[in-house]
Amino acid sequence: MRTSVTVSPHLIERHIRESPLLERAYRLLERDLEVQELLRMSNVFAVHRLRFNDHGPVHARIAAGTALELLHLLVSSGVKPSCIRDGTCTDIDEAKLIVFMGAYLHDIGNSVHRTNHEFIGALLAKDILDKVLPEVLRDKLEDDPRMLYSLRQEIMHAIYCTAPDIECLTVEGGVVKIADGLDMAEGRARVPYRLGKVDIHAVSALSIKRVELMRGVERPVRIIVHMDEWAGIFQVEKVLLPKVLKSGLQNYVEIVAISRGKEVLTYPEREEGAQTCKVKEGT
């Protein structure tokens, strides 16, 4: 029987409890003054100056927990992380660390400017990772000091690849990219909406009540988006789906959008050999 989990800020706690390495990394990032101030400044720029959705600490936690859940679903279905396949890490815990830190730090570039924030964020992350990773990996670096640099580059790749037009070259990067798009429920849009932003992005996000993840019917990952208004379709078609299609993981993911108990959108919908999404007629 398939069970689902809800995308939320609490999902991260479920995963760090299972890994001392992840727990150490999470506590270090949560206590790091620079990291927390960059996340706060990301919201100053994105939310208060541009009236965008949340890009701060709560979004960082949601994206990180969601990314770890996606990785779990993929790995438990036999998908091998790229870092293990290519020898840049040695075990699944290190693959989880790449995903976690990439997702947690992916929006820090907004603390400089929204434009090119993924590229800026990857560069800003270098010094943070050089500071934090030696403590996180303290039990491993004695055996292989090169690990500091290989994992750092994998994390920087995952951050950079959250850009809409950038193809992910690793499973880990693809997981982070999709996780970023799954933080779409109504709470993320409340602040800019209260500040006066009323456009399709805000209204669409407010229409989405919750997002669930579970093992798919035919694919490893099934994403279920619950909405109470038709406007939520915009968020799925224009925000989430482009991320999935650029993730390199599009063949592992199913998406179903449900409005008031009815399926209103499905992905993939196969037409003439191509994979597309389909909005249901008569809804």
- The series of mean pLDDT values per 10 residues for the chain, 283 residues long, is 86 95 98 98 90 87 97 98 97 98 98 97 98 95 93 98 96 98 71 50 74 95 91 86 97 95 86 52 46
pTM for the model: 0.90
Cβ burial of 141 (10 Å; 0-12, 13-18, 19+) is middle
Nearest to 157 by CA among 209, 212, 89: 89
Instruction: Give pLDDT, residue 189.
Output: 46
Instruction: Give pLDDT, residue 193.
Output: 41
Residue with tokens 């997002």: 211
Instruction: Give pLDDT, residue 234.
Output: 83
Q: What are phi and psi of 89, to 5 degrees?
A: -140, 175
Domain spans in the chain, listed from the N-terminal domain onward: 8-167, 186-279
The tokens describing 187, both together, are: 């709470």
